[in-house]
Structure formats: structure tokens, C-alpha cells
A and B are shown apart, each in its own frame.
Chain A
């Protein structure tokens, strides 16, 4: 059998983004395990297609695999947005396990991928969605009146908590912070903020308890996937299943490496709301946001409540025994004396 190239499209160019490290690892492993039958060609900076069009580019055969965020295709993904609910879990590992459970067992969830002719290989997730800000945020009141870049459901959540949500185009994120158009960014993982140097201008990170609520994924073109021999398909799936484990240790190592520099150079702080504060946040935010989504799904003819419950069950199932340590936990361990 001849050598096969796999075309990978990337939205970003930033090498610091851990997701890219993972995807490169995935392909290195694939090359090794297939004895060099598969090699990947990477195309950065949306060279082959824009983020929102990646699914259709894969279906059409322009690209073989890609990394994307669910939010780019709200029309194609309705029920899958259940995985983007705030306040359900704080561990991307648990979220990822639950996603794969439902992807494999719930036909309605699966159908949204099949219809687009793409195959979910692995959730390549973001860690806890922090708020990065110019001034420390220590209590709910601190959020009031704060100008934050936000979007989608988490934006709605923060505006319920009194923040003013502004939409800033992604390329203007750094500028908007540098020039003080916003006081901070919501929904951003610590490593992503580090990669974009956002912590240089907004060094304070806080996790207010909205948890992980971003669903970013690594997917393959279904025509490409189906054209592969059975044993290769199995090999790819197996590798996909290893991604979450690999990320779990990888992220902890990454945070151990980058946090000291952020603290030393830019006086970064990492603060988690207490249990009571989290409960308070969720009391204000969650019932309404979940209900809105369920109502929206019902209107579209989908059993929103059932899917939400299924996801909650799956999260509950995978939570015990989870050994992931958040960036905040890593910080606490490294700086036990920090207030």
C-alpha cells in the first residue's frame, strides 16, 4: 500500500496552543503505528478554509481532518451544544469522557455529525474557562459593570452577573485589551491567554465556577475515514481515545511550566471562587440558561431536557476518580502562601 497524505487544516498558527501540540502528537503516533503509511501535512492560519467552513471543506474532500470549535456552526450543531453548558463540570477530562459516551450512544447527538459528513475523532478540549482581567476579581460584585469580551451562552451568563458583554472580533482581542476597550476577557483558558500574550495586559485569572463549557474537537472527513481499511479506522479511533489521557498529563505539565513566568514577570494571580461563591453564581445563572436552551430545543422539535439529563448523568459517572488538576490547582500547589 502506498503512502497516504492526510491534509490537516488549522485555524490558528500559534504554537503555544496546546491543542495543536496534541494534534501533532496524534499524527506522529499515527505515522509510527502505521509504519509510515500515513503522514500529515499541516496548513496553518486557515490556509485551506475558514474556521466556519471546515466541516464542509472536509465533507468535500478539500481537507481530511481539522480542529474546530462548535460555536462556529450553531446551525449544524444544535443538540451538541448541550456540551457547552456552563456550570456542569470543572474538568475537561470528565467533559470529554461524557461527550464520547453520548456520541457513541445517543443517535440524535451522533446524527448532527453524520449529516455533515464528519467523524468526531476526539474532543480536544479547552481547560477551565477563566476570566482574565486587569484588576483582580474576588467576588460576584467585582463583576458588576466590568467590560468583558464575551460570546454565546457564557456571555449571557456573565451579563446576568452584571458584566457588560462586548463582542470583539478575534483578531482585535489583543488590541482591545491593550487599548482598554475592554477590562478583560471571559471564557478563555489559561494556556490560550498565555499563547496570545493576553496576560501581559490582564494578568489576573479567576474561575468563578462556570467550569468548562467550550467544545473544541478534532474531526475527520467521513469520506476519507470510510475509505480507509477497517484496521486503520480502528487504529485512528484507538488513538483518539488516548487523546484525553495524553492531554490530562500534558496540561498539568504545561501549567507547571508557564505559571511561574506569568507570576514572576507579570504578577499574575489565579483565584478560584469558594464553594459558597460558586453556588451563588450558579444560582443566578444556571436554571435560567438551561431552561432557555431546553425551550429552544423543544421548539425545534428536539428532546432538550432528556439530552441535558443524559449529559449530566454521564458527567456524574466519570467525575469520581478524575485526577486532572486545573491551572488554579497547579498554582495553589506551587504558591501555597498566595492569598
Chain B
């Protein structure tokens, strides 16, 4: 049997274990270990098991992951999301589809305080659904906007996906994080225009709310301050270079804690329990993410030894198609993968295989990271496993069924594909900011 055949058998074993509901991290590690043992003997596996977990976890660059998770969690408890929602509503509510736009805008603001996408969708669902019922909104439009708005959290910095991607692709973490800012803003713009278009076609989908006096609207801007401060700390800190991404995560968590103390409405007891809750969810999510990384580290040793990435590069070179075609094929692969795997798992499983191909085609890995992130966003909306759809269903009124929510996100998937096309056509959207952060 050739090593490449073993490589495919290893992937087959991985799939079987996943189907049996084996935890993804252990499935990666076990199929990797089995393949490694076949190719290089048991000693190699023992070495990978003895040393791999330590070297994967004791990473300075990746320490930004728990710290950004903590920052997002603290920001959530200090009510940044609700504040952003109410403030944005004063401005956008009067427009047709304004409530759905409010959801997108507030999600964009919350995105700057969190590294993931689920928390944002959950909070937004709790805040926005009651308002939507009050104004006779199409709940389908609302559910789609909430699920899609949550995606902004992984594109707009900070982003856990980007930190992990940068460490796997060996690109600068700060440049990768900055690369997501304009694509994130572009996504907001496209979502807003899309919602407006939908509401102009279907006049009942998003009736406008009464206008609000300017003074009141201006006063509402105050509610943005917490998110604004965090945005300045994180994006400003990374862009200006006052601190490294890792340090900005630490500072961000610290500042979020201060904001939380300053804005606390309930007593100290509640505050303390909120902090403890934040720490617990941080620890648990971090352990989950790094378990995946440990599994992936063992699996990717096996893939490398089996020569699968090399075989793929050879295959691509033999196909005699344009690099753009290859890129599109690679990106299309994320649709089926995203159907079953969660965002971080699909990143971790695929990057060791596809990145060598992308690098062999001399494409910019930072740009590719942004494109992959977008495909992963789409995966969070597609059935059967669409994390954000599940979360929205969890907070939605009972009359909205799970299939309803899946239907509701279809327009937003189309909008994301439009964003993808723009990002492919104009790499500068992603690369201009990181390029300009260089040099002094």
C-alpha cells in the first residue's frame, strides 16, 4: 500500500470515528496515531503522544485565545450587546427593515468585543425577538439577521479563528487580525443593503418604526462607549503597535473587567458571580479548542508523513487549470465540511492539507485566511449542523421551527457569497490594512 493510500484510509478512519460520535479531538488523535504507527512504527506514536500535547498547548501566541474569550464573556455580562442594540435602534429603527438592520449593526459592534460568533447570536436573539414581535416583523427575516449578524464576530477583530489560522499558517497574527476588519465592514454593508432590498420587495417583512427625536438618538450613542473603548484597545493597540496581539488580548480582558465594574447595575455579589461565570466559560471553551489543536497536531504529522499535501499539490499541478479554479475548488470543499463540523474543527482539519497547495500557487496566505473564514461563516448557517442556526432557534419564539430558521438564512448565505466574490476580485479589501500597519 502506498503512503498516500494510507493517508486516505486515515481520513476514512477519522470519518468513521466521527460518525460514531467520537469527540472530534480524540478522533483526530486516534486516527492520526493509527496512521503514524502504520507508517513509522509505535515509537513514533509514543513520541507524538508524550510530547505533542505539551508543545501544542504551551504557546505564547495562542494565549490570546483564552484572553479574548474572557474579554468577550466579560463584555457580554456588562451588557455591551444590549446597549449597542438599543443605541443602534434609535438610528436605524425608522428605516424599512430597520430592526433587522439594527441587529446587524449591533452585532457588528459586539463583534469588536468578542472573538467568536455564538455568544453574539445568543444575546442578540434574546434582545431582538421580543422587539420584532412587538413591531409585527417577519420573524424569518429577523432570525436570518440574528444568525448572520453573529458571524461578524469571527471576521471583525478580535477573532479566535484568525489567531488559530495565523499560528497554523505561520503568518503574523496582527496582520491576520487586521485583514478581517474591512471584509467584516463590507459584510455589514452588504447585509444592510440586502435587508433593505428584501423589505422593499416584501413590504410586510420589515415595517419601519416611528422616528425618534434627534436629541434622544444622540443621547443613545452613550451606550456604545463600552464597546468603543474595547475596539480602540484591541484594534488600535494592534494597529499602532503599542502592544502585540497577545498583549492586547490581556489588556482587552483587563479593560473589559473595569468596564464591567463601572457599569454594574446589580450588587457586588452579582458582579462576582458574573466574573466567575465568565472565567468558567473561558476555561471550558479554551480546553475544548486546545483539545482540538492537540488532536490536529497528531493528525497532521500523519498527513505530512503520508505525503497527502504533496500528492494534492502534484494533482493540482497535473490538472492544468488556473490558480483561480483551484482556489474556488478548495473553497467549495468547505461547504460539505461545514455541514458537519464546527468552525474550529473544520479549520483545524483542513488547513494542514490545503495550505501547502495555496502556498505552492503563491497566493497570499493572509488573504486565503480571510476567504476560509468566510466559508466557515457559511458553514455555521448550513444544515444539518449549523451552530448559529441552533443558537437562534434556542432563543426564538416557539412558532418559529428549525426548518424555518434554516430557510431564513438562505438570503444571507447568498449575500455572503457576494462578499466572497468581492474579496476574491479585490484582495486589497483584506490586505490593504495589514500592509499599512507595517513599517513605522
Contact = CB atoms under 8 A, between A and B. Distances in A.
A179 B245 CA distance: 11
Contacts of A45: 170
Contact of A62 (B55, B174, B301, B307): B301
Contacts of B47: 49, 53, 56-57, 59-60, 62
B301 A48 contact: yes
A61 B43 contact: yes
Contacts of B51: 49-50, 53, 56-57
B41 interface: yes
Interface residues of A, number: 30
Interface stretch (B124-132, B187-195, B236-244, B323-331): B236-244
A128 B167 CA distance: 30
A174 B321 CA distance: 35
Interface residues of B, number: 35
A180 B241 contact: yes
Interface in B15-54: 36, 40-41, 43-44, 46-48, 50-52
Q: Secondary structure at chain B's binding surface: helix, strand, loop or mixed?
A: helix
Contacts of A172: 60-61, 173, 244, 246
A178 B438 contact: yes
Interface string B49-92: 01110010000110000000000000000000000000000000
B172 interface: yes
B102 interface: no
B399 interface: no
B41 A48 contact: no
A178 B241 contact: yes
A285 to B, nearest CB: 28
A49 B305 CA distance: 11
A175 B440 contact: no
A22 interface: no
A169 B60 contact: yes
B240 A47 contact: no
Contact of B174 (A43, A175, A180): A175
Contacts of B403: none
A43 B240 CA distance: 35
Interface string B294-309: 0000001100110100
B439 A201 contact: yes
Task: Indicate the member of B47, B242, B305 with the most A CB atoms within 10 Å.
Answer: B47
Interface in A10-55: 13, 41, 43, 45, 47-50, 52-53
Contacts of A43: 304
A58 to B, nearest CB: 9
A48 B304 contact: yes
Interface string B219-251: 000000000000000000000111110100000
A336 interface: no
A180 B44 contact: no
Contacts of A176: 244
Contacts of B305: 7, 48, 62
Contacts of A57: 44, 47, 51
Contact of A175 (B240, B241, B300, B301): B241
B304 A178 contact: no
Nearest to B170: A45
Nearest to B310: A41
Given A171-B170, A178-B437, 6 more contacts: A47-B301, A49-B48, A56-B51, A57-B44, A168-B244, A175-B173
Interface of B: 36, 40-41, 43-44, 46-48, 50-52, 55, 60-61, 167, 170, 172-174, 240-244, 246, 300-301, 304-305, 307, 352, 437-440
25 contacts: A7-B305, A41-B307, A45-B170, A47-B300, A49-B51, A53-B55, A56-B47, A56-B50, A57-B47, A60-B44, A60-B47, A61-B40, A62-B36, A62-B43, A62-B301, A168-B244, A169-B60, A169-B61, A171-B61, A174-B172, A178-B437, A178-B439, A179-B440, A201-B439, A201-B440
